[in-house]
Chain A
């Protein structure tokens, strides 16, 4: 007797609940070089990696007041690489001792027809931007230093202008839920980048 077709089996047992731990800061353009040098010294030894990404943020407005947000990212300088779909939950509040912003995170690689698919599902694009910068790694920590470019004509990624005179610096770790020592490691690393950059947990709700 063969097993029942997979489509009829209920999907029990969830995914491992992954959380993203995040610290953010910024650095002025003129101090970028020193920051890159310091990161090259501190981080894992690898060829400096640059990236040029185009990110689109989609909203699904349902009956609830707050819409569901998904972020779709594609690489503009590497061919043949899948698109990246990401869901980020609300930041977990409450623990003042935790040094990093913690939020639920789901990452999926997708094919190139992601935007069409999301539109068919009812999502609408809210905003988009281009991110260009450098990527460093240290163990499970990922450090990104990138500049955000505003897209002037929707859909046209050639015509962009930088949003500010600074680069955004993000230190992030994606780890299973409950591993709070990760935030201690992140804070220790952030200490080493002072006073060039002050990485801290910034609550996005405060900036609304």
Chain B
């Protein structure tokens, strides 16, 4: 019993704060509409609506919270009605309800909606029941599909415009340039000896198997060795020098060493 009372108190407090926030934002929105209507912009109105919707959401969440007891089970009964001014009530309601009397009570403690509203709601429920489950399901599905299509279109538009907006100041690379540079390096596109791309020439590297590479490399060695045995020393030292950071596409020092060791069959 104690626990339930505590829970009730806690949830009532939460509800009060939420409703208070909602009231404030509604108030500011109304003020904005009434006083600044000539300079009001659509985004500003949307902001207010978004704020209200957010607050209603949190209100719903608070109500659905597991710690909230079912308010439906609670009943509020007016115990004393008096036509006198009640200071306490005034204070609590911020001056809105000065008297707890016969006129005030039906409005404030009402649980049923207005008769007109009740009529409309009954009408809607009979219409819905009349359509039948299948047709209703189909309508729901088509509505969902249209909403998702719309959302997609909007997000795509947003993305495209965003990238367009960022282009002038934030773009640090140009993909077209990347492709042009890579093509130039790979097969000389755009460089001095440019050939029409129809010919088989432009730098398609050949497909010699590993054996041919070896033959080619060793052939190079052999020719060089045969031609200038004295050159072996400077060649090796050249390779060592390469470690010190020769510019260009030289691999790192360790790999170079391994290469030189294995590709010089005449090394002592």
Contacts and interface: CB of A to CB of B under 8 A. Distances in A.
A106 B250 contact: no
Nearest to A129: B191
Interface in B164-196: 171-175, 177-194
A107 interface: yes
Contacts of A195: 172
Contacts of A207: 179, 182-183, 186, 189
Interface string A43-70: 0000001111101010111101111110
Interface in A47-104: 49-53, 55, 57, 59-62, 64-69, 71, 73, 75, 77-78, 80-82, 84, 86-90, 104
Instruction: Name the residue among B201, B203, B238, B266 with the largest chain A CB count within 10 angstroms.
Output: B203
A168 B181 contact: yes
B245 A49 contact: yes
A68 B187 CA distance: 12
B181 A163 contact: yes
A20 B181 CA distance: 19
Interface string A1-25: 0000011010100111110000011
A25 B248 CA distance: 17
A153 B49 CA distance: 69
Interface stretch (B99-107, B131-139, B251-259): B251-259
Interface in B200-242: 200-208, 210, 213-214, 216-218, 220, 222-224, 226, 231, 234-235, 238-239, 241-242
A82 B181 contact: no
A123 to B, nearest CB: 11
Contact of A163 (B190, B234, B239, B255): B190
Nearest to B239: A109
B174 A28 contact: yes
Contact of A15 (B190, B217, B234, B252): B217
Contact of B187 (A131, A151, A204): A204
B179 to A, nearest CB: 5
A15 B259 contact: yes
B177 A166 contact: yes
Interface in B64-88: none
B248 A109 contact: no
A204 B180 CA distance: 10
Contacts of B189: 207-208
B115 interface: no
Contacts of A144: 249
B74 to A, nearest CB: 57
Contact of B248 (A26, A53, A197): A53
Contact of B173 (A9, A77, A197): A197
B192 A152 contact: yes
B177 A6 contact: no
Nearest to A154: B192
A57 B185 CA distance: 10
A78 B250 CA distance: 15
A51 B248 contact: yes
B251 A202 contact: no
A165 B249 contact: no
Given A28-B177, A104-B210, A148-B185, 5 more contacts: A57-B188, A57-B203, A128-B191, A164-B180, A208-B187
6 contacts: A11-B214, A11-B265, A65-B200, A108-B263, A125-B193, A163-B181
